Amino acid sequence: MEGGAIAPMRFEVEQAVMIAYQMPVVVARLLSAAEFTLAILAERSTLGGYAVAQFVEIPRALRADGSPRLNLFAFALANPDDLAHFVPGQVVLLEAA
């Protein structure tokens, strides 16, 4: 990577939902070996090519054994219409623009 750029991170979409206050949110599981960092969420980050407005804090999902799923994240999209482009099982990249 040149100039300290952050590599894109791969995620698998688990849910694409409209939550309170009409916020379009994509819940996705981190597939990349790299650890997730909020640093990638620059002002113009994209998920699957669509603008991300913000990272959304979510309660930790639990596995059947009660252990936390630390690889699950939620992203609010900038445009509610973009939610239609995400389906469960789809693999997308989180990239800093």
Q: Where are the domains of the chain?
A: 6-95
Q: Distance (Å, rounded) from C-alpha 94 to C-alpha 60? A: 20
Per-residue confidence (pLDDT) for residue 63, from 0 to 100: 80
Per-residue confidence (pLDDT) for residue 91, from 0 to 100: 97
Per-residue confidence (pLDDT) for residue 42, from 0 to 100: 63
Per-residue confidence (pLDDT) for residue 52, from 0 to 100: 93
Structurally, what CATH architecture does the domain formed by 6-95 represent?
Answer: Beta Barrel (2.40)
Per-residue confidence (pLDDT) for residue 72, from 0 to 100: 86
Residue with tokens 């309170």: 20
Per-residue confidence (pLDDT) for residue 1, from 0 to 100: 45
Per-residue confidence (pLDDT) for residue 34, from 0 to 100: 67
Residue pair 57/73 in contact (Cβ under 8 Å)? The answer is no
Residues of the chain where predicted confidence (pLDDT) is lower than 50: 1, 3
- C-beta neighbour count of 24 within 10 angstroms: 21
Per-residue confidence (pLDDT) for residue 12, from 0 to 100: 96
Quick one: tokens of 31? 């597939």
